Structure 1
């Protein structure tokens, strides 16, 4: 879908325990900024967790090449770090690092409801994984921009809060079904 809006999940190869993405958040931000300068896209939502990230991007009209954008982000991030990870013989033979899973998961956003669900999913993810007691406490998220714009209340989906009339536990269970 050229120029569409997409949801992505991108994982580190070794997920647990691994805090690589938040430990090197400034590098990740810099790499994303540089890739966006050469291959523009709009960041609708983004959350970076210790071992994976979720985001929603809108690509320019006529452009559906998110794969090369992700390739560049992963490649530049990896090249900026020293090689300390365990690498398989196959990865070594292919000249690959052992930081990222080779693939990523993408989903084409179909409508406004789908868009809102995936934006919410990005923002609630640190709470879902137990990193924080309320979404506002997670620093590596576009949630804070949404609060500044008045799109979310500061304490949205916090401990004891409800979301769309659902108890938080039920909301977590229903996200992305």
Structure 2
């Protein structure tokens, strides 16, 4: 078995990508209510600060910061995935067991990146917010409902038309 090395920084800020096994699925946005509740529950049991998030049909990106002496993001992500699956089953979603009886909806692992500095933080927040445009779900960031972008707009951090295609003038167009 491969021995994965994970970066562990106490109180660190991390960027994560969690992906469904079925990349054609829309389960995450179709059951956004259950996903949000699972995240809230994990945050209550194992606190963290959620800086930014985007939920796509088949994957999600989280940017979160752990409490000062804490390095255990893996337990949070494991609990989050498990609570979402449990809620799906309770809601009557057909969940087939995967290997060893576990629900087979999530990819087994996740992508993690330790945020190094303010510039890295800003780049990853921008990446998260632009993701729905990148994947062709919308033309403007503001049109994707499952994103912390809307909180950034409400707080006056970003303008509502940030990174959209509308009104974009290209160099050389006269």
Q: TM-score range by the shorter chain?
A: 0.7 to 0.9
Unaligned runs of 5+ in 1: 168-177
In the aligned structure 2, how far is the partner of 1:85 from the partner of 1:40? 28
Question: Which of structure 1's runs of 4+ aligned residues deviate more than 3 A?
Answer: 85-88
Pairing partner for 2:47 from 34, 37, 40:
40
In the aligned structure 1, how far is the partner of 2:121 from the partner of 2:54? 15
Q: Which residue pairs with 2:73 in the alignment?
A: 66
Note the C-alpha offset of 1:79.
1.4
Q: Which residue pairs with 1:119 in the alignment?
A: 125
In the aligned structure 2, how far is the partner of 1:14 from the partner of 1:56? 23
Deviations 1:28-70 (A, max 9, x none): 1111101110100000000000000011001000101000000
- The TM-score with structure 2 as length reference comes to 0.87
How many positions carry a matched residue from both structures? Answer: 159
Q: Which residue pairs with 1:148 in the alignment?
A: 154
In the aligned structure 2, how far is the partner of 1:5 from the partner of 1:144? 21
Pairing partner for 2:101 from 95, 109, 117:
95
Deviations 1:114-166 (A, max 9, x none): 0000000000000000000100000000000101111111001111566xxx9
Pairing partner for 2:116 from 110, 115, 118:
110
Is 2:87 the partner of 1:77? no
- The TM-score with structure 1 as length reference comes to 0.85
Unaligned runs of 5+ in 2: 1-8
Q: 1:121 to 1:161 in 2, by over 3 A?
A: farther
**3-state SS in 2 of match to 1:141:** coil
